[in-house]
Amino acid sequence: MITPAARNRGVFPLTVRMVMIDLDGTLIDTVPDLAVAANRMLADIGRPARATALLRSWVGSGMLRFVKRSLTGEMQAEPEPKLFEQALGLFRRHYAAAVSDLSRPYPGAVDALVRLQDQGFALACITNKAESFTLPLLRNLGLSHYFKLVLSGDSLPAQKPDPLPLRYACEYFGISASQAVIVGDSANDVLAARAAGMPVICVTYGYNHGQSIRESHPDALVDSLLELPTYLQLDA
């Protein structure tokens, strides 16, 4: 289904060679494992547990900010440095031990990867999640082989919403920004795409800090990654 947002903002199908896909909230629902790790960390330091719905709204800006939000209960507040370092170490340990216990690809996500790969699109995973969690998560869920490039939040000097990961991916595949599209769930994905000069398609079911992704005005909205082939054609 092509939405009014898509019709108003661009011409479809897009002719591209490479599709970049975000991880948390777009490809995989990772909140169940993130919530368990965060609440185990909070229990270790004598803090009460956070509701999963609240933790869900804090995902998307990288691990450091997620831990800070879990400690302070606020989006941008800074916890006491020593407490933060302690909490960060605890969170890393708990999350590494169970990074894929409860996390699962969204319905239709794997089928979408198969279709895009079969149609000849180069696939890249661009996430703000740390590499030490990204790679095991993809591997454990059997998704690694779909991606010719994986860029994590600590792979480069900057992460989304900075356009650097998107530009790096284009250089890696030897293509221009106009030959790529990013698929995500948050304002960070839209901001990165705009700065990189490329189109962006967003899923309606993602995290995005509790805000409607429609407010960020992506070029198109999809209810499932299975809808992507409707929007894309291969630039041979």
Summarised one tens digit per residue, pLDDT across range 94-107 is 999 999 999 999 99
- What is the pLDDT, as a whole number, of residue 61? 79
Weakest-pLDDT range from 9-23, 65-79, 83-97, 148-162: 9-23
- Nearest Cα to Cα of residue 14 among 204, 134, 193, 205: 193
The predicted pLDDT at position 104 comes to: 98
pLDDT category of residue 24 using cuts at 50, 70 and 90? very high
Q: Is the pLDDT of residue 78 over 70?
A: yes
- Binning pLDDT at 50, 70 and 90, where does residue 9 land? low
Residues carrying an active site annotation: 22
Q: What percent of the chain has pLDDT over 70?
A: 96
Mean pLDDT of the chain: 93
Could you give the strand order of the β-sheet that contains 200-203, starting from the edge strand earlier in sequence?
Answer: 149-151, 122-126, 18-21, 180-184, 200-203, 220-222
CB atoms < 10 A from the CB of 44, how many?
Answer: 15
Mean pLDDT of 190-212: 93
For the stretch 167-199, pLDDT in tens is 999 999 999 999 999 999 999 999 999 999 999
Range of weakest confidence among 115-119, 147-151, 153-157, 204-208: 204-208
Using pLDDT thresholds of 50, 70 and 90, give the confidence band for residue 210.
confident
